[in-house]
Amino acid sequence: MPDPTSRNLNEELNTAKQAQPENVGALNREQLTPEAAAQPQGHDVPGHDHAGHSHDDLSFDDHDHDHDHGPAGDHPYLLPGISLGLLLAGLALDYFGVGFFSGYVRLVWFGVAFLLVGWKVMQAAVLSIPSGNVFNEFLLMTIATLGAFAIGEYPEGVAVMLFYTVGELFQDAAVNRAKRSIRALLEIQATEVTVLRDGQPLVLDPRQVQPGDLMEVKPGEKVALDGLLQTAAASFNTAALTGESAPQTKQPGEAVLAGMINLETLAHVSVTAAFADTKLARILAMVQDAVGRKAKTQQFITRFAKVYTPIVVALAVLLVVVPYFVVEDYAFRTWLYRALVFLVISCPCALVISIPLGYFGGIGAASRAGILFKGSNFLDVLREIDTVVMDKTGTLTQGVFAVQQVQPAPGVEPARLLRLAGALEAKSTHPIAKAVVAHAGAAAAGAAVEGVEEIAGHGLRGQVEGQEVLAGNARLLSKFGVAYPPEIDEVADSIVVVAVDGQYAGYLTVADAPKEDAARAVQELKADGITRLIMLSGDKDSITQRVARQLGISEAHGGLLPEDKARYVQQYLAEGRRLAFVGDGVNDAPVVALADVGIAMGGLGSDATIETADVVIQTDHPSKIATARRIARATHSVVWQNIWLAFIVKGIVLTLGAGGLATMWEAVFADVGVALLAILNAVRIQRMKF
């Protein structure tokens, strides 16, 4: 079992999952900066800037016909507009039979209209040859349109290239919209921070600030770095991180995260993490990686396009050659025209652009809902799961313990019990220990504590004001031979039993309440087709069963160590279950890695679990699991709508074209029209409400 505290836990554990997906062409920092987002995107000319051709700055590396349309320039539609004007004027001159409009005049007229929109496409077809990327849509468009010119069909050749180029412009617009939905995340990163040093305010780049520095955050300012609030209670807008509009009030000593906005009062925050290590920085890194990871559908389309395009070219050649041997009145021009129509129809744009755009839209929609998918492949896997296994504390419950009862032994003052227990538990970071310390408050302040020993799975032993004090579970007292009342073993809540100088001194009960939406989360998952819901917890089994009954979970197991949780998950997987595990603690990281989909609570969750997880819920709301599944299903539905749309329409028009019943105009619709419809359908995901 890997060390769950390792900072490289993600690398150690993900070998237990699927093979690492490709991450070629993922978004990089320069492409994601707000400054880059402000730059216009699209075509500087109506064709493409293909020196580094790809939509890969969006990570659509799977889109092998790779478009990088270059900087937009001020008027991306100018040259297509001129070309359209020349085309329409030429058609009018043809229609009215104007005398001068024939021969070379007509060729030059339509030739200029063609070159305005076709030059870059032809250039791209040539430049892609040395890299081995010969059979792409640039080649299909070039052959088809030059062929149309060769047989005298000038207007149709211009129309095919013009509408193809206009289609590319609309594709760019859709892609850039998807980019902006992700780039918007970066706009919540503060670009400067005020730090107090020697009592003097200094305005610095957040990268220059170190843990331990004291930030000053004015009302209306963004918090630049993670830290702990040092001044009075303050309200913060956390919508950019969590998707929740309601402000959160932070108390002194509570965590404040980069990206939050201070709403009302001047706040001082002690920095706890460098700029690169903030939760926000990790979120952005997750999104950056996510757009480079392909779903199975995307991988299929990538492989399909590589095989499909050369086959289409071969079939077009056969469509010209074979009829020569089998058709009595063979006319080369007729069959060449049909082959050119066939090539235009066959362009795979609708598939190779709209499908990754659909997945990217799903990732963007999820991020706005406070759900981070680390790859589009996990959208597919989450949709397929039938079993959800959840941790209890911090996942279904609030993870905030509070002392419910103080029960001293006869002859022991409650205040004395609290002072001794609180002073000793102050040396522990366990949530239950923190609850005891918070409840003891000033009563434990100033107590002399030394020689503290933490006994794993039991509790603490140490000297408090010269007395030996034990504080932990009943097993701790048994270990040191301290007798205690047998009814303690029957207490359902978490319990801290205390002994002083070898004598039982009393106990405190500590409880954790379910989250407000925990019961709704369980109901929604059941209604959503999850056939098996299981809760695994390291807490006492009696407490685990009580919480399970409260929430409507029929199967629960308590008193588990990390290896026990892993054993249960391996058992469910061996039964053929498609399983998601939801957790938040360091001890959940190994199980998160084993599951088909690991889901981490990003607010309360440990760094190790968040790094290992495939999906991170920033709001810590378990009901978001069902939301994530709805987004995954919507994405899958849109992607397959596009696939069927493209195949059906292209299949029909291909058949008509081969039979001479479809012209270049129908071919343009089958290519550009279907691509635009598919892209508009993919963009719908970004507008859906989940």
- Give residue-wise pLDDT tens across range 492-535: 778 899 999 999 999 999 888 888 999 999 999 999 999 999 99
Q: For residue 54, is pLDDT > 50?
A: no
Which residue matches tokens 């699209």? 42
pLDDT digits (tens, 9 = 90+) for 595-637: 899 898 876 555 656 777 888 888 889 999 999 999 999 999 9
- Average pLDDT for 154-178: 75
Q: Which two tokens stand for residue 436?
A: 């005891």
The answer for residues whose C-beta is within 8 angstroms of residue 137's C-beta and 6 or more apart is: 65, 309, 347, 348, 349
pLDDT tier at 584, thresholds 50, 70, 90: confident
Query: Considering only CA atoms, which of 28, 268, 317 is closest in space to residue 147?
Result: 317
pLDDT tier at 72, thresholds 50, 70, 90: very low
| Fold designation for 210-273 | 2.70.150
pLDDT digits (tens, 9 = 90+) for 412-434: 999 999 999 999 999 887 778 88
Instruction: Please give the model's pTM, rounded to 2 decimal places.
Output: 0.61
Query: Looking at the DSSP assignment, which residues form a beta bridge with residue 216?
Result: 194, 268
With contact defined as beta carbons under 8 Å apart, do 370 and 620 qualify? no
With contact defined as beta carbons under 8 Å apart, do 168 and 184 qualify? no
What letter would DSSP give residue 41?
Answer: B
Burial tier of 191 (Cβ tally within 10 Å: 0-12, 13-18, 19+):
exposed
With contact defined as beta carbons under 8 Å apart, do 690 and 369 qualify? yes
Burial tier of 82 (Cβ tally within 10 Å: 0-12, 13-18, 19+):
middle
Rounded Cα gap, residues 321 and 356, in angstroms:
37
What Cα–Cα distance (Å) separates residue 493 from each residue in 432, 488, 540, 688? 11, 10, 8, 43
Q: How many degrees, rounded to 5, is the angle at CA 197 between CA 195 and CA 201?
A: 50
Buried b (16+ CB within 10 A) or exposed e, 400-437: ebebeebbbbeebeeeebbbbbbbbbbbbeebbbbbbb
Range with the poorest average pLDDT among 27-36, 466-475, 617-626, 643-652: 27-36
CATH number of 398-513: 3.40.1110.10
Angle, in degrees to the nearest 10, between helices 518-527 and 624-658: 30
CB hemisphere CA count around 386 (13 angstroms) = 7
Rounded Cα gap, residues 144 and 309, in angstroms:
14
With contact defined as beta carbons under 8 Å apart, do 195 and 275 qualify? no
The answer for residues whose C-beta is within 8 angstroms of residue 81's C-beta and 6 or more apart is: none
Give the sheet arrangement for strand 402-408, strand by strand: 402-408, 503-511, 494-500, 467-472, 459-464, 449-455
Q: 354 or 202, which is more confident?
A: 202
The helix (H) or strand (E) run that includes residue 35 is helix 34-38
- Average pLDDT for 229-245: 74
Q: For residue 34, is pLDDT > 60?
A: no
The helix (H) or strand (E) run that includes residue 340 is helix 332-346
Write down the pLDDT at residue 175.
60
- The one-letter amino acid code at 157 reads G
Which residue matches tokens 């998707």? 243
The backbone torsions φ and ψ at residue 499, rounded to the nearest 5 degrees and listed phi first, read -130, 140
With contact defined as beta carbons under 8 Å apart, do 117 and 165 qualify? yes
Rounded Cα gap, residues 156 and 374, in angstroms:
45
Same fold across 210-273 and 398-513? no
Of 44, 64, 391, 596, which one is the catalytic site residue?
391
Query: Looking at the DSSP assignment, which residues form a beta bridge with residue 372?
Result: 616
- Domain positions in the chain: 77-183, 210-273, 398-513
pLDDT tier at 39, thresholds 50, 70, 90: very low
Which residue matches tokens 């590396």? 61
How long is the chain? 690
* Torsion sign across C-alpha atoms 579, 585, 590, 593: positive
What are all long-range contacts of 99-108, with beta carbons under 8 Å and residues at least 24 apart? Answer: 106/154, 107/149, 107/154
Burial tier of 545 (Cβ tally within 10 Å: 0-12, 13-18, 19+):
middle
With contact defined as beta carbons under 8 Å apart, do 581 and 592 qualify? yes
Query: Considering only CA atoms, which of 457, 454, 471, 456 is closest in space to residue 420?
Result: 471
391 catalytic residue (yes or no): yes
Q: For residue 109, is pLDDT > 50?
A: yes
What Cα–Cα distance (Å) separates residue 315 from each residue in 277, 322, 337, 647? 55, 10, 14, 17
Which residue matches tokens 């349309």? 69
Extended strands (E) in 409-486: 449-455, 459-464, 467-472
